[in-house]
Structure 1
Amino acid sequence: MELDRPLRLEVIVGSVRVKRFAPVVLDWFLERARVRDTYDTAVLDLAEIPLPQDLSASQVVDSFTDRIGRADAFIVVTSEYNHGYPAALKTAFDTVKYEWRAKPVGFVAYGGMSGGLRAVEQLRQVVAELHMVSIREAVSFHQARKHFDPEDGAANDAVERMLTQLAWWADALRTQREQSPYPG
């Protein structure tokens, strides 16, 4: 895919737990995303961004909102806790409103038996309400702490398909947003 300028990709890390596995999955993903000239990739690690639980205004919120607004696409790296996604992700999505709209999002999940897929399915409902486009292709690591394999052929194939689909949507939506504001 040939673009006149790279797509701004923000990778959001959802887990904020102590001794989380997220950095392992994040590093795996970044290694694959950053080889593509299509993207200008940055990381928004929610463990490092103290978003207020009460959704009140602050400098941190303003900075976070600005980064979301400048992004063309998102990848959410999420764990699954108790059959759901981390609370920090819900706070992040609820903190910002209009800046999420008409932008694509893909998911890289990890967890136990479901590999984080239950969290992803719940997040698809949240992002739909925010007027985002959820990329059908996702990446999932089952039993990640015990069996994570960076050379997993299925995961590597899935991430390539997801990044290709994400770029297509991000370019199409960026072009449309520049021509006409999203009506939502």
Structure 2
Amino acid sequence: MVPKPKIAVVIGSTRPTRFADRPAQWMLKQAQARDDIEVELVDLRDHPLPFFDEMASNMWMPSQNPQAVRWQETVGRFDGYIFVVAEYNHSLTGVLKNALDQAYKEWNRKPFTAIGYGGTGASRAVEHLRGIGVELQMVSTHAAVHIGGGDFMAVAPRGGNKPIEEIEANLLPSAKTALDELVWWAKATMAAKAAEA
């Protein structure tokens, strides 16, 4: 029997004025309400990574920077990921891209989904994340949660600054689908890896 997947909610922004905490906490709450996964918050603020400057990916040789090694150990503990994605200039944040680059084998054959926010619900950033994930040999869910348009303006600090619960009726269907898909892929990849062992 496959154990409960361990899932990390990865906050992909480190700006002092970030909005990321609100969607991260909301998504964490949705995931914690389930009985088929264990979930934990992982904040990039707690992992002050240098810009990637290793000799090669840790797929080919061990990383030398202690912060990079600590990050690899952190993400390696999980069976899947929920990325909290801000959209900067039609892509994801530099710190999230750097964090993805700092590991390789730890991401392999693991699934991920995302909750994105911004004018277009971070749809372009999430698409970039999916391309990066494929190169890291990850599995993307089809569904993701997008807080965009009027919903984003209602909850954004420079907009209505309302709690996310005011718009959650619009988010719950996609959150359920994204989490259902994440759990399915996590169990499938865990079972496949166990069969190989």
TM-score (norm 2): 0.85
Query: Equivalent residue for 2:114?
Result: 107
Equivalent residues of 1:9, 1:41 under 8 A apart: yes
Query: Equivalent residue for 1:135?
Result: 141
Q: Is the radius of gyration larger for structure 1 or structure 2?
A: 2
Query: Equivalent residue for 1:70?
Result: 77
- Stretches of structure 1 lacking an aligned partner (at least 5 in a row): none
- Structure-2 separation of matches of 1:164 and 1:21: 25
Q: SS at the partner of 1:99?
A: coil
Query: Equivalent residue for 1:122?
Result: 128
Equivalent residues of 1:138, 1:158 under 8 A apart: yes
Aligned mate of 1:162, from 146, 165, 178: 178
1:8 aligns with 2:6: yes
Name the aligned partner's letter for residue 132 of structure 1: M
1:179 aligns with 2:179: no
How much does 1:4 deviate? Answer: 5.1
Q: Would you identify which runs of 4 or more consecutive aligned residues in structure 1 move more than 3 Å?
A: none
TM-score (norm 1): 0.90
- Structure-1 separation of matches of 2:140 and 2:88: 21
- Structure-2 separation of matches of 1:61 and 1:163: 28
Q: SS at the partner of 1:179?
A: helix
How much does 1:100 deviate? Answer: 0.5
Query: Equivalent residue for 1:79?
Result: 86
Query: Equivalent residue for 2:44?
Result: 46
Equivalent residues of 2:8, 2:78 under 8 A apart: yes
- Structure-1 separation of matches of 2:168 and 2:33: 18
- Structure-2 separation of matches of 1:29 and 1:11: 8
Equivalent residues of 1:55, 1:94 under 8 A apart: no
Q: CA RMSD in A?
A: 1.6
- Structure-1 separation of matches of 2:178 and 2:15: 27
1:146 aligns with 2:144: no
